[in-house]
Structure 1
Amino acid sequence: MTSTVEPSAINIDLQPGHAIRRLHQISVGIFLQETGELGITPVQYAALQTVGNQPGIDQRTLARTIALDASTTGGVVDRLEARGWLVRRTAPEDRRARQLALTPAGQALLAEAVPAMLRAQDQILAPLTERQRSEFMRLLNLLVTQNNEMSRAPSDATR
């Protein structure tokens, strides 16, 4: 039996999806404030950091690792390559696959971006105590992991 709730009885501010969307807006705003002069977005940062951590990663694996669909990842890689931060090379074992690597300029940008990204993370979590931060991250990662398959672009990183 399904209960009926009057639409006027719903307080949007008490809905988890709304709060998560708002926190995402805030997170992006803080990230862009901290990294403003670098001209990098959170998704571009994730791509650069992942390529920096895994030189030679192919574009499909990058997409699965940072939970983006293939066409969005292609656009991100195009923009990073156009800015001289990333290069694509044909994979020797599969000529259809493109391996990614940071350029020296990409490595320098990433080195500049990391402190700004860390400041942004600290600012996002600033209202919480250390214990609350730990618990928040534990619960957040639980929600992401347990709901990963419901994503339009599931991440391989959470498996």
Structure 2
Amino acid sequence: MTSIYDLPGHLIRRMHQISVSAFAAEVGGAGFDLTPVQFAALSMLEEHPDVDQATLAGMIAYDRVTIGGVIARLESRGLIERTVSETDRRARRLRLTERGASILQTVRPAVRRAQARMVAGLDAAEQDQLLALMHKIAEHNNEMSRAPLRPNET
């Protein structure tokens, strides 16, 4: 058997740990209380205002059940607002508040620094290659995920 240190699953788990740590160090160090998922949700709402919760979950490849807690925390902090859909009274439309949009703009440099830390040690060509391969694997295996990416649901 191959050493555990050479297994893709083990390396992916370690890279996830590293990515979360880098994000927390840069974003938290800059004075922001945001998780990577919260940042993804805010970013997507900036690009696609008034999407519903289920659509947002698909757009950021997040579980539909657990997205509710993310949305509730962002709403309680005044970063997003929920309104009743005009076409489906059961659905809630999500939108950034002015405060949410302002925080999103202000936090972006820290997020960019976190991303750079995650690929530190690779030159520019290697970084491009790594990202291309990660995209390829994620796209090929999208349907295996319990929360597949659904980017074109709007």
Q: Equivalent residue for 2:25?
A: 33
Q: Equivalent residue for 2:3?
A: 11
Q: Equivalent residue for 2:145?
A: 151
Residue identity in the other structure for 1:32: A
Q: Equivalent residue for 1:77?
A: 71
Q: Equivalent residue for 2:107?
A: 113
Q: Measure, in 2, the Cα distance between the counterparts of 1:140 and 1:147.
A: 11
The TM-score, its normalising length taken from structure 2, stands at: 0.94
Residue identity in the other structure for 1:24: H
SS of the residue corresponding to residue 95 of structure 2 reads: strand
Q: Larger Cα Rg: Structure 1 or Structure 2?
A: 1
Q: Equivalent residue for 1:4?
A: none
Shift of 1:39: 0.5
Shift of 1:71: 1.4
Aligned residues: 151
Gapped regions of structure 1 (runs ≥ 5): 1-8
| 2:57 corresponds to which of 39, 58, 63 | 63
The TM-score, its normalising length taken from structure 1, stands at: 0.91
Alignment of 1:75-154 (within 5 A): 75-154=69-148
Quick one: higher RCO (CA 8 Å, sep 6+), 1 or 2?
A: 2
Q: Structure 1, residues 83-122: CA drift from partner, whole Å, max 9, x if none?
A: 1101000111111111101111101110111111111111
CA contact (8 A) 1:85 1:104 kept: yes
SS of the residue corresponding to residue 148 of structure 2 reads: coil
